[in-house]
Structure 1
Amino acid sequence: MSGNLLVVDQISYKYAENTKLALENLSFSVRKGEWLAIVGHNGSGKSTLARILNGLLLPQSGSVTIEGVQLNEETIWDIRRKIGMVFQNPDNQFVGTTVKDDIAFGMENNGILRETMVSRIERVIDLVKMREFLEHEPHQLSGGQKQRVAIAGVLAVQPDLIILDEATSMLDPIGRTEVLETIREIKSESQITVMSITHDLEEAARADRIIVMNQGQLFAEGKPEEIFALDEKLVEIGLDLPFSVKVSKKLRAIGVPLSKNHITEEGLVNELWTLQSKN
């Protein structure tokens, strides 16, 4: 990873009906090729940030720059071409009668040649592992499958940055795992840049880096291990620790010799198997 793709510099925003700032002097950057998770409880400013990044709102002070282009009224459409958004409810994004038509829609709007569209559809449908569903109606798919189609549609227009805006919050555990594994594999294979905006710390644990927001400000920033080491400080601002971290803490408290509090269930299970095999 090298260089900053997105730079958010001291942005603030206040809704007219409120006396308190929704965002206050918020600054952070996203490096090319990384997966950055932004987490926070309801009211922390995540939704306002998402609207600004998508050009639905403009910051009242400070600046947002992506690939050297600063967000303003003149550049909104240029910015939107650089950022692909995957929202909470994929049904709101579907416009095609089949999965193939839906993936093609964004490319058609961007005036991409048919030959290029066909090759991109072939590529992204395999990336999200949905080839057998190409001729299916999107609304008939499972929640996890719908989000994978939505991701394919975003990938097809080749944005510089993909933002997942609470994209797994309406999914069951199986669907959530499907989507997060898809993102992890795509990032590994294609070196895309991902930002996930979420309240789910288990989702954030899969990212390369986490930013914690609280009351419109940056509360903490670091690698997942560093963020979860904050422990009760996260609970105090309304966040819940990942299940694997809580289980690790309880096992260590009763004497199980774990090397650390694991941030993923896979890591916890692997160490428990290793300990068991030594006995």
Structure 2
Amino acid sequence: MRDVAVSVENISFKYPNETNYAVKNVSFYVQRGEWLAIVGHNGSGKSTIAKLLNGLLRQESGSIKIFGTELNETTIWEIRKRVGMVFQNPDNQFVGTTVQDDVAFGLENNGIPRDEMVERVNEAIRLVKMEEFSEQEPHHLSGGQKQRVAIAGIIALQPDIIILDEATSMLDPKGRNEVLETVRDLKKKQKITVISITHDLEEVVKADRVIVMNKGEVLTEGAPEEIFLLGEQLEKIGLDLPFAIKLSNHLKRAGFPLTMDHLTAEGLVDELWTLYSKM
């Protein structure tokens, strides 16, 4: 398959002292430049997959290939240079005394020459729109700003893939939107491949493709609009449909002539306004 960034074939993993597999015979691929969202309730196996993709855990069986190179003990450090990971709690990721220092940390560890390092740091901070905070201490920032700094630290390393492991779950709606908009802009401008791990279906609206996990296995996959058609099935496994989808369904049942199930509140408002203007 051309331009495949990630290829996962029949991987399984079980944590020590557990009887059930956290991930069982899972296969999927991610195209270069694609945004894949992996969703599921707690215990579905989605975060385990994130750690397997970055080599933090080692699968018991099956294979993981990053741009055609199999992930193993020999290739892990080279592959990690191509795969950046943003975790749930931004406070656990900071090591620098200022935003600028923090973004530079990974580059210093990799021995990047100073002139190039300064250029990369400034560009990464600019891309996440945090220039005015570059001299501030990270711990004084809001949750959304902290995660944008964490993303800048990853961008500065110039990975080909970014994995977001529940990276917005501790943020308020404003912070979550800041992070998701940043990721969307980066995907568009930098052609970065994005894999987002989440239990929140509101986050997958902008993804290109969605994989739904349940009890360690792939339940289904498809474009967001296809996945949201499985409303009752998603709710049965503990996932909550986005507000715009729920409201669209209620309005249609109430007799409103909506033409589609809207994935976003903006789209729903636009159609309601169009209907109102024709009255």
**In which range does the TM-score fall when normalised by the shorter chain?**
over 0.9
Letter of the structure 2 residue corresponding to residue 27 of structure 1? S
Unaligned runs of 5+ in 1: none
Hey, what's the Cα distance between the residues in 2 that align with 1:193 and 1:265?
26
Q: CA offset at residue 175 of structure 1?
A: 0.5
Letter of the structure 2 residue corresponding to residue 275 of structure 1? L
Residue of structure 1 in register with 2:187 after alignment = 187
Residue of structure 2 in register with 1:256 after alignment = 256
Unaligned runs of 5+ in 2: none
**Moved beyond 6 Å, runs of 4+:** none
Q: CA offset at residue 16 of structure 1?
A: 2.6
Give the count of matched residue pairs: 278
Q: CA offset at residue 85 of structure 1?
A: 0.4
Per-residue CA deviation, residues 180-235 of structure 1 (Å, 9 max, x unaligned), is: 11111121111111010000000011111100001111111110001001110111
Q: CA offset at residue 259 of structure 1?
A: 0.9
Which range moved further: 235-244 or 167-176? 235-244
1:20-59 to structure 2, matched below 5 A, reads: 20-59=20-59
1:79-158 to structure 2, matched below 5 A, reads: 79-158=79-158
Which range moved further: 177-186 or 266-275? 266-275
Q: CA offset at residue 122 of structure 1?
A: 2.1
SS at match of 2:37: strand
Residue of structure 2 in register with 1:228 after alignment = 228
Q: CA offset at residue 33 of structure 1?
A: 0.5
1:233-252 to structure 2, matched below 5 A, reads: 233-252=233-252
**Residue 69 (str. 1) matches residue 48 (str. 2):** no
SS at match of 1:210: strand
Hey, what's the Cα distance between the residues in 2 that align with 1:121 and 1:273?
44
Per-residue CA deviation, residues 131-171 of structure 1 (Å, 9 max, x unaligned), is: 00000000100000000000101001011100000000000
SS at match of 1:248: helix
Residue of structure 2 in register with 1:175 after alignment = 175
Letter of the structure 2 residue corresponding to residue 244 of structure 1? A
Q: CA RMSD in A?
A: 1.0
Letter of the structure 2 residue corresponding to residue 213 of structure 1? M
Per-residue CA deviation, residues 25-75 of structure 1 (Å, 9 max, x unaligned), is: 100011000110000001100121122112111110001110122111222
Hey, what's the Cα distance between the residues in 1 that align with 2:242 and 2:220?
17
SS at match of 1:229: helix
Q: CA offset at residue 276 of structure 1?
A: 2.0
SS at match of 2:248: helix
Hey, what's the Cα distance between the residues in 2 that align with 1:104 and 1:16?
36
